[in-house]
């Protein structure tokens, strides 16, 4: 989830799963500092993922752990978990062609001559959505969020 403009965290914030009007702090931590229930839950759900980084995040005094990894295909698989190992959110990189069928035409209509450079399926609780990083014809990128059916929800700059 470490993308220069906070792709993953912004998605969760954009969907209202981790909102904060007060303080937020995040720091990279060593993998051996991750609570055992967190790492055990992540590895149980994604046994073939290779864990790359861990970030401890504190929002309004509540701590979560973000585990960043890659799967065998080289796609990112990231999870945000509570200290006891309960998942708050999961972001799985997907191929742009695997976005819901309504997403590509919506991108083409909004951003002519653009390219989807990255896509993710985001699950937070029972809510599923999709994100696409779109490189526009002017060279600037924008993150577009779609609902579970591929309908446009919002744009993040």
10 sits in which H/E element? helix 7-14
The whole domain housing 118 covers 7-156
Give domain status of residue 1, yes or no. no
Q: Nearest-CA neighbor of 93 among 114, 64, 72?
A: 72
Give the pLDDT score at 10: 42
pLDDT at 5: 32
Rounded Cα distance between 134 and 157, Å, is 10
**CA distance from start to end of the chain:** 17
Residues with Cβ < 8 Å from 101, sequence gap 6 or more? 150
Where residue 21 sits, what CATH number does that domain have? 3.10.450.360
| pLDDT tens track for 144-155 | 999 999 999 999
Give the range among 2-6, 35-39, 95-99, 145-149 with minimum mean pLDDT: 2-6
What distance in Å separates the CA atoms of residue 115 and residue 21, rounded to the nearest whole number? 34
Residues of the chain with pLDDT > 70, as a percent, come to 85
Inform me whether the pLDDT recorded for 68 exceeds 50. Answer: yes
What DSSP character marks residue 72? T
Residue 84 included in any domain: yes
Task: Count CB atoms within 10 A of the CB of residue 19.
Answer: 12
Q: What is the largest CA-CA distance in the chain?
A: 47
**Residue of 103 and 13 predicted with greater confidence:** 103
Give a yes or no: residue 126 inside a domain.
yes
Cα(104)–Cα(81) distance, rounded to whole angstroms? Answer: 31
In a domain, 2, yes or no: no
- Quickly count: other Cβ atoms within 10 Å of residue 68's Cβ: 19
Per residue in 83-93, pLDDT tens? 999 999 999 99
Q: Would you call 66 exposed, middle or buried from its count of C-beta atoms within 10 A (0-12, 13-18, 19+)?
A: buried
Q: How far apart are CA 64 and CA 79, in angstroms?
A: 10
Nearest one of 22, 108, 109 to 62, comparing CA atoms: 22
Give the model's pLDDT for residue 24: 83
Q: Looking at per-residue confidence, does 4 or 72 come out higher? A: 72
Q: Domain total for the chain?
A: 1
pLDDT at 21 over 80: no
Residues of the chain above pLDDT 90, percent: 82
């Amino acid at each position: 989830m470490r993308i220069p403009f906070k792709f993953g965290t912004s998605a969760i914030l954009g969907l209202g799963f981790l909102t904060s009007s007060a303080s937020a702090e995040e720091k990279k931590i060593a993998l051996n500092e991750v609570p055992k229930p967190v790492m055990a839950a992540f590895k149980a759900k994604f046994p073939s993922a290779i864990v790359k980084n861990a970030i401890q995040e504190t929002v309004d005094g509540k701590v979560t752990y973000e585990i960043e990894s890659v799967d065998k295909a080289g796609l990112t698989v990231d999870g945000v978990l509570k200290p006891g190992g309960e998942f708050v959110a999961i972001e799985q990189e997907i191929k742009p062609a695997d976005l819901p069928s309504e997403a590509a035409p919506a991108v083409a209509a909004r951003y002519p001559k653009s390219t989807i450079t990255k896509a993710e399926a985001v699950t937070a609780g029972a809510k599923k959505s999709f994100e696409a990083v779109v490189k526009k014809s002017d060279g600037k990128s924008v993150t577009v969020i779609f609902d579970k059916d591929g309908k446009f929800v919002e744009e993040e700059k």
